[in-house]
Chain A
Amino acid sequence: MAFQLPANKKMQVRIIKNGITMDSPGKLTCLLIATAIFVPAQSVYPIANMFKPEATPADSIFNVSMLMLAICAAIFLVVGGLLAFTIVRFRRRKTDNSNEPVQVYGSNRIEIAWTVIPVLIVIVLSMATARAVVEVQNKRMPPDALKVTVVGHQWWWEIRYPELGIVTANELHVPQSSVAKLAHTFLKLQSADVAHSFWVPQLSGKMDLIPGITNSMWLDPRRTGIYLGNCAEYCGTQHANMLIRVIVDTPEDFEKWAAAQKVNASADPQLEAARSAFMALNCINCHTVSGTAAKGTFGPDLSHLMSRTTLAAGVLPNTAENVRAWVKDPQAIKRGNLMPNMQLNPRELDEVVTYLASLK
């Protein structure tokens, strides 16, 4: 079994080179062919595949992961191959006599060999790990970074831009980072109730939102688009439907979006009746609509509800019909969520939906 040593060592050296210089991680992607097979080539949104990173933290993780996968694949081939060889070569054959095989009790030399090799592998992996941890975790916040506070709630995300005075929910808009103009977004992660976890695989690993603690993470996505993610820490009944989407805009689009979000909610005089109906209902105890008497903070901010792409933390596409269905009976759509069925009569329902649909 001594042939392990050269084979392993060679593999290590080659991989370390690849891992550190990062010149051609593509060579190693063959390891992930199986992953690729299962990924549909065309889909509306990118698949949340951690092996297609689109931001620096996810890159660091990707690089150390490829090194690690290569090492593990090598170990698997050597040990698995040895196991297969042993089973075939040393099976009892029909022609065998009944004598027992040679009784071997062990060998200290071999024991030392197969202790030292794993130790070396662990050293290599430890260093690569430490490097990636430091890269991701010890990043200094550039002075011009966009600061966002994300607060986990039972089963939705509150997203605040304290410096811009924007409050929204479930969809995190961030500017694209390019070589010409680096743009970092630093997230402060908090929880209003139980533990949650923010996970958008293509941008970064996950980070928990724990009540009583403020965690942080950062992103610098290089490509515009929608990146899907989930709450990744079990947080109660509707944990499955606590979806997050990060929307990466070009810097200009981001400015436009932010400008639109900053203004107070639209106050179309033609919708006065609908607005006053909304303000007279219990909606305002839990929801905020900027510039009005609605100042509740228990549920998502509705000031620019219709600017978002989904409802109920990613459960439904955001259309007027779906808003109606949701307001009519939220429990039928997302069973167990904390918005009760308000038992609105048809007239009230019409007015509330009319008003909400105007909140662009």
Chain B
Amino acid sequence: MAATTHIPVGLGETEAMPSKLHGWLVTVDHKRLGIMYIGTALFFFAVAGTMAALMRLQLAYPNSTFLAPEVFNRLFTMHGTSMVFLVGMPFFAGLANYLTPLMIGSRDMAFPRLNAFGYWIFLMGGILLYFSYIAGEGLAGHGTAPDVGWFAYAPLTERAFSRGTSTDYWILSIMLTGIGTTASAINVIATVISMRCKGMTLARMPLFVWLMLVVSSMVVFIMPPLTAAQIMLLLDRYLGAHFFDTQAGGSAVLWQHFFWLFGHPEVYVLMLPGFACASEIIPVFSRKPIFGRAAMIGATIAIGMVSSGVWAHHMFTIGMSTASNIYFAVASMVVGIPTGIKIFNWLGTMYGGKIRFDTPMLFCIGFLFQFLIAGLTGVMLAVAPFDWQVTDSYFVVAHFHYVLIGGLMFTLFGSLYYWFPKATGKMLNETLGKWHFWLLAIGFHLTFDTQHFAGMLGMPRRIYTYPPGRGWETLNLISSIGVIFQAAGVACLIWNIFRTLRKGEPAGNDPWDAWTLEWATTSPPPEYNFAVLPQVRSSRPLWDLKHPEDPDWRYE
């Protein structure tokens, strides 16, 4: 196990600014690219979060005129598109890039240049999407961002209903980010298959890496339907094809099938990295190995496979046959089984442990509680008749924000606190971290708990305003007030990061007393990761080192 005296190249080094910047621009180092991915994701998170705050401000009161309808419609389109493609996906890519080689004891990803290509093409996609605010044209004239919603249902996206170029910006920018995501997924798969260190069998691979392998495999399968549909839509718009052009006999439902064939597994592609982080953090802070490793891996693979066959539960109201509705309802409930197994195993991991409540663990506990609710509302939505009532209502909005904020963002924030010391060599402040957690948790529940009820009282999603007297006012006001707490929480994080980068406490190589290989090298790790490539005998190599009297490999 290599703890070297190497002086890290990169962060914290005193280099002249131009050459430092040049270093970042031309880098093919997986760690730098990982940090760039995560930094970009956090930037877009702030942008898209601000958009959400504006929308909540508009919806705080009935008949509000703070935002014009077309402005609001652009905001929710850009918010959703950004959060999925420019926040969730790059956060996954960033974590996978930064951690996979370190965890499997390799010097870099399998294709470092492809890695850099993936990042830059993704960034260009993001910039292109936002460039539409300057150059896009649409129904409301110049400077029109896409306003068709993040799933861009046909035929609203056809030329007859979406004139100008705003929808084209949506199509092309998402296509670009899709290329980047696919590149990075292929890279992860190749790395995991071919770059593991000596002794790192698949069975001994950290759960994080396992989940990233599953996610990456899913990405390779799900991006093509979306890209194909987007190309068809472009053909419709510019070359007179009629795939989705209902006025010429095209099919609106075809788009929905293509989109959700991508879109539903995509939800799991976003969520599994959250599971991956929780599966690393919870054991370390419970001081126990993950409970039921094999079951966890099996459940992940099951989620990956089953979730590819449930897409039409987003389409229960399009008038499918009874048989299709029942099939998709039951199949969707079945996804709940492996997901439940995962929750039980995390609980089993904590049970009997000595739980430390440092910030990463706090976020993971928040995740467990909130994801439990998100999973249950997910089961509710799988019950097709209930879905007929609440789909496309604020209940669904609440449900998927429970998944993506209460589940995913909480684990991603947890992972940020957990691995930040590794990436920078400095510890994020614990007090600010706890403020971040509690403010975010309070704000999250104020904002999204209430939305379930608004949905059950008939409030549809994507409305820019609503009349008084329908029982929605109080709920919406509370929901909007929650935003203040959430924003304050995120401000704590940003302040914490700036403060720590300037004068944070040194972290040391292994601040959490953890067990996976990334903690065996320096913080931050040298460009080549390990002076001597490690050799492992179990899934917790550092446990084996620390407890030679009772190593894991005896039991595996």
The list of the 3 closest CB pairs from A to B, nearest first, reads A205-B388, A48-B458, A240-B463
Contact at B329–A133, with CB atoms within 8 Å?
A: yes
Q: Knowing A90-B286, A240-B463 touch, does A76 contact B373 (C-beta < 8 A)?
A: yes
Q: Is the CB of A205 within 8 A of B389?
A: yes
Query: Given A106-B291, A125-B379, A236-B156, does the pair A1, B70 have CB atoms closer than 8 Å?
Result: no
Chain B contacts with A in 449-491, Cβ cutoff 8 A = 453, 456-467, 469-471, 474-475
Q: Which B residues touch A96, using CB under 8 A?
A: 354
A80-111 interface code vs B (CB 8 A; 1 in, 0 out): 10110011001110001000111111110011
Number of A residues contacting the other chain (C-beta, 8 Å)?
A: 96
In the complex the two chains form, what is the Cα distance from A230 to B472 in whole Å?
A: 14
Other A-B contacts than A105-B291, A133-B326, A210-B318, 7 sampled, CB-CB below 8 A, are A39-B457, A83-B372, A90-B352, A102-B288, A193-B155, A206-B389, A234-B392
- Known contacts A72-B379, A106-B292; decide if A212 and B390 are in contact (CB<8 Å): no
A-B contact count (CB 8 A): 303
Contact residue among B249, B288, B457 (Cβ-Cβ distance under 8 Å from A38): B457
Q: Residues of A with Cβ closer than 8 Å to B?
A: 1, 34-35, 38-40, 43-45, 47-51, 60-61, 64-65, 68-69, 72, 75-76, 79-80, 82-83, 86-87, 90-92, 96, 100-107, 110-111, 114-115, 118-119, 122, 125-126, 128-130, 132-134, 136-138, 154, 189, 193-195, 197, 199, 201, 204-208, 210-213, 215-216, 228-241, 243, 314, 335-336
The verdict on B347 contacting chain A, using a C-beta distance below 8 Å, is yes
Bound CA–CA A60/B388 (angstroms): 11
Known: A64-B386, A210-B253, A237-B73. A48 touches B470 (CB 8 A): yes
Q: How far is the CA of A260 from the CA of B333 in the complex (A)?
A: 50
The answer to whether B340 touches A133, judged by C-beta atoms less than 8 angstroms apart, is no
Q: Is the CB of A125 within 8 A of B70?
A: no
Q: Are B161 and A49 in contact (CB under 8 A)?
A: no
Q: Is B238 an interface residue (CB 8 A)?
A: no
Whole-angstrom distance from the CB of A129 to the nearest CB of chain B?
Answer: 5
Instruction: Provide the bound-state CA to CA distance between A115 and B338, in Å.
Output: 8
Nearest A-chain residue to B335, judged by Cβ: A122
Is the C-beta of B322 less than 8 angstroms from some C-beta in chain A?
Answer: yes
Check if B475 sits within 8 Å of A38, measured CB to CB: yes
Q: Cβ of A47 and Cβ of B470 under 8 Å apart?
A: yes
Smallest Cβ-Cβ distance to B474: which chain A residue: A38
Given A1-B351, A90-B355, A234-B153, is A69 in contact with B388 using a C-beta cutoff of 8 Å?
Answer: no
Q: How many residues of B contact A (CB 8 A)?
A: 100
Question: Nearest residue in B to A72 (C-beta to C-beta)?
Answer: B376
B225 on the A face (CB < 8 A) = no
Given A205-B388, A235-B156, do A79 and B354 touch, yes or no (CB 8 Å)?
no
Closest chain A CB from B150 CB (angstroms) = 10
Looking at B139, B156, B250, B322, the one whose CB has the most chain A CB atoms below 10 A away is B156
A80 and B372 contacting across the interface, CB-CB below 8 Å: yes
17 sampled A-B residue pairs with Cβ under 8 A: A39-B457, A48-B457, A61-B385, A75-B376, A90-B355, A103-B288, A103-B552, A105-B293, A118-B340, A129-B333, A133-B329, A193-B155, A195-B153, A199-B458, A212-B250, A216-B319, A237-B139
Contact A335 B69 (CB under 8 A): yes
The reply to whether A49 and B471 form a contact with Cβ atoms under 8 Å apart is yes
**Contact partner, A233, options B333, B368, B392, Cβ 8 Å:** B392
Binary interface encoding of chain B residues 363-379 relative to chain A, with 1 for a CB under 8 A from any of its CBs, else 0 = 00100110011001101
Asked if B535 CB lies within 8 Å of chain A CBs, one says: no
Known interface pairs A129-B329, A207-B319, A213-B252; A39-B471 also in contact (CB < 8 Å)? yes
In the bound complex, residues from chain B placing their C-beta under 8 Å from that of A336 are 69-70, 139-140
Question: Are B292 and A107 neighbours in the complex by a CB distance under 8 Å?
Answer: yes
Interface centre among B149, B246, B352, B460 (most CB of A within 10 A): B460
**A210 contacts B252, C-beta separation under 8 Å:** yes
Note all chain A residues with C-beta closer than 8 A to B379. Answer: 68, 72, 125
Known: A69-B380, A118-B340. A40 touches B329 (CB 8 A): no
Report if A61-B287 is in contact (Cβ < 8 Å); known contacts: A126-B330, A126-B333, A212-B251.
no
B55 CB to closest chain A CB (Å) equals 12
User: Is the C-beta of B241 less than 8 angstroms from some C-beta in chain A?
Assistant: no
Question: When the two chains form their complex, are residues B329 and A232 in contact, meaning their CB atoms are under 8 A apart?
Answer: no
- Contact B317–A211 (Cβ < 8 Å): no
CB atoms of A65 and B383 under 8 A apart: yes
The interface residues of chain A lying within 8 Å CB-to-CB of B467 are 243, 314
Distance (whole angstroms) from the CB of A10 to the closest CB of chain B? 19
Distance between Cα atoms of A134 and B357 in the complex (Å): 49
Contact A43 B373 (CB under 8 A): no
Contact partner of B350 (CB less than 8 A), chosen from A64, A87, A212, is A87
A213-B319 in contact (CB<8A): yes
- Alpha-carbon gap, A193 to B161, bound state (A): 8
Quick one: given A83-B369, A125-B383, A335-B69, are A111 and B251 in contact (CB under 8 Å)? no
Cβ of B237 to closest chain A Cβ, rounded Å: 15
Q: Flag if A240 contacts B465 (CB, 8 Å).
A: yes
Given the complex, which residues of B lie within 8 Å of A86, measured CB to CB? 347, 350-351, 355
Assuming the A-B contacts A68-B379, A239-B462, are A45 and B469 also in contact, with contact meaning beta carbons closer than 8 angstroms in the complex? yes
CB of A307 to closest CB in B, whole Å:
21
Q: In the bound complex, do residue B458 and residue A230 qualify as a contact, i.e. CB atoms below 8 Å apart? A: yes
Expressed in whole angstroms, the minimum distance between the Cβ of B321 and any Cβ of chain A is 8
CB distance from B72 to the nearest CB of A (A): 8
| B337 at interface by CB-CB < 8 Å | yes
- Nearest opposing residue in chain A for B349, CB measure: A104
A90–B287 Cα distance when bound, in Å, is 11
Contact B337 A105 (CB under 8 A): no
Determine if B293 and A50 form an interchain contact, defined as CB atoms under 8 angstroms apart: no
Q: How far is the CB of A155 from chain B (nearest CB, A)?
A: 10
**Bound CA span A237–B77, Å:** 12
Residues 335-361 of chain B: 1 if any A CB is under 8 Å from the residue's CB, otherwise 0?
011001101110110111111110000
